[in-house]
């Protein structure tokens, strides 16, 4: 890898460009007309205009991005997060164009991009999943759904297979509400993801939402960065991320980490990813989904455990996981040290509703443990 094109904008583009510069790589930025003077355009060795401000005509235009890669002489592309970061077709297009896609394999993106398929893979890997039902098509789901929901036990969730962020999701408490929820969920899923495939899932009351960040290289080595608590949500959107999780004991921590690594191994996962779980009131662990990309809230875990330099985010590990590179963890400790105390957690905030500001990325060091008795629900406040 000599020249890296960062197919993104904003904070994540800045982090990646800084990390690439530190590693001596030549860098290429892209921008829309609205981002002509954005910080990331000044950090790169070259910057290319993609098109109008609308994402569909700029950052989501895969053909234009590949044209820029060819024109700039880039031999690698980093998608960042959002936009085309979990788009298997874009990763495949990069591969066919002879470009290194800095991310997981195309197959891993496809497998984990489907909630139905990812659950099947998780079950085969011995990872516990929420009891669920899926049908081969919408007609079968409408016909067999009522009986399946009765077996699961109400309330149930209607969920979009290709979805996230609560899009297409409906909680159904009574049999009479199931078919209307299926129809509404399918419409929303089709509009949001271009895929109306739905599934039914047992509703887990008052869960905690905990995720485990994983890293893998092309030599089969994988490690986890322990857990992040992200139960404080609004409308299924995470507001606060905290590591270490405030109420995870060593036994639960081990179960979560082991399950995350088993799933990563099952799809031969490379690069950075996040495995998300629900933890029930009785301590039962359920696989929720896997994000096959760098997350918006990626910083707390590696920053807290001093795995990476703060301003570079996860940059260094992204390059060291490139095909053909030396083992990413050669000579490194087999485990990341987990602090025993909780007096200095790393906190990441994504939304400040009092000020009306979204996505504030900050790291706070607290001088005392968090307040006890804070009630949080993985389904949102």
Residues taking part in catalysis: 293
Give which of 363, 301, 294 is closest to 336, Cα–Cα.
Answer: 301
Tokens, residue 264: 């990563």
Q: What burial class does residue 129 get, using C-beta atoms within 10 Å of its C-beta: 0-12 exposed, 13-18 middle, 19+ buried?
A: buried
- Euclidean distance between CA atoms 323 and 103, whole angstroms: 10
Cα dihedral value 262, 126, 145, 86, nearest 10:
10
- Euclidean distance between CA atoms 259 and 95, whole angstroms: 30
- Residues 6+ away with beta carbon under 8 Å from 374: 232
The angle at the Cα of 102, spanning 100 to 104, to the nearest 5 degrees, equals 110
Tokens, residue 317: 């590990």
Handedness of CA 292, 296, 297, 300 (dihedral sign): positive
Tokens, residue 32: 């829309």
Question: Where is 169: in which H helix or E strand?
Answer: none
Per the document, the length of the chain is 381
- Euclidean distance between CA atoms 343 and 65, whole angstroms: 45
Question: Cβ atoms within 10 A of the Cβ of 42, count?
Answer: 11
CA atoms within 13 A on the CB side of 316: 14
- Euclidean distance between CA atoms 345 and 369, whole angstroms: 8
Helices (H), 134-249: 138-152, 178-193
Tokens, residue 155: 């309330």
The three-state secondary structure class of 300 is helix
């Amino acid at each position: 890898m000599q020249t890296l094109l960062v197919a993104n904008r904003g904070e994540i583009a800045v982090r990646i460009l800084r990390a690439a510069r530190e590693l001596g790589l030549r860098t290429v930025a892209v921008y829309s007309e609205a981002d002509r003077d954005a910080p990331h355009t000044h950090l790169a060795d070259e910057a290319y205009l993609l098109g109008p401000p609308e994402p569909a005509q700029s950052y989501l235009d895969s053909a234009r991005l590949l044209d820029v890669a060819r024109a700039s002489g880039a031999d690698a592309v980093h998608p960042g997060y959002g936009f085309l970061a979990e788009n298997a077709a874009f990763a495949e297009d990069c591969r066919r164009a002879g470009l290194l896609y800095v991310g997981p394999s195309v197959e891993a993106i496809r497998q984990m991009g489907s909630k139905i398929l990812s659950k099947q893979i998780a079950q085969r890997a011995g990872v516990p999943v929420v009891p669920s039902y899926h049908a081969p098509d919408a007609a079968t789901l409408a016909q067999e759904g009522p009986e399946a929901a009765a077996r699961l036990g109400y309330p149930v969730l209607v969920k979009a297979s290709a979805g996230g962020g609560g899009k297409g999701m409906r909680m159904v408490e009574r049999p009479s509400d199931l078919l209307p929820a299926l129809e509404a969920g399918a419409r929303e899923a089709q509009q949001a993801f271009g895929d109306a495939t739905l599934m039914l899932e047992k509703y887990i009351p008052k869960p905690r939402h905990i995720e485990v960040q994983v890293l893998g290289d092309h030599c089969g080595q994988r490690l986890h960065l322990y857990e992040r608590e992200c139960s404080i949500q609004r409308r299924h959107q995470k507001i606060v991320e905290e590591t270490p999780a405030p109420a995870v004991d060593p036994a639960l921590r081990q179960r979560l980490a082991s399950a995350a690594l088993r799933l990563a191994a099952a799809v031969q996962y490379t690069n950075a990813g996040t495995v998300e779980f629900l933890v029930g009131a009785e301590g039962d662990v359920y696989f929720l989904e896997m994000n096959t990309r760098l997350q918006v809230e990626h910083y707390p875990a590696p920053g807290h455990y001093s795995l990476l330099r703060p301003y570079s985010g996860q940059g260094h590990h992204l390059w060291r996981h490139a095909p053909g590179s030396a083992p990413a963890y050669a000579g490194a400790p087999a485990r990341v040290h987990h602090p025993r105390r909780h007096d200095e957690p790393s906190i990441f905030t994504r939304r400040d509703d009092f000020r009306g500001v979204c996505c504030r990325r900050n790291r706070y060091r607290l001088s005392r443990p968090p307040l006890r008795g804070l009630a949080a629900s993985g389904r949102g406040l």
